[in-house]
Amino acid sequence: MSQTRFGEQACRSVRAKIDSYIDDELMTESTREVLEHLRHCTACIREAQERRKVRAQLRAAVREVTVPAGLQGRVLDRLRQTKVL
């Protein structure tokens, strides 16, 4: 089964939601729609797998980076300033 079964518009719609789906940020109905599409569309399944793979590689790369001293505090301070505005 391929994306032609669903049409390019359906695939575009699902691909726009894949990152939110992976992050579990979608509403229940949208999650169901994405899951149903992924059950039958190999092209979108591959896209979701690739995005998960990239995320895993990024997480692994970030773990190896040493955070400069004081960076976390500066970031939190900046976030607090933004909330006040």
- Alpha carbon dihedral 40, 44, 45, 49, in 10-degree steps, equals -170
Number of domains the chain contains: 1
Tens of pLDDT, residues 5-53: 568 999 999 999 999 999 999 999 999 999 999 999 999 999 999 999 9
pTM of the model: 0.67
- State the pLDDT at residue 84: 58
58: domain range?
3-84
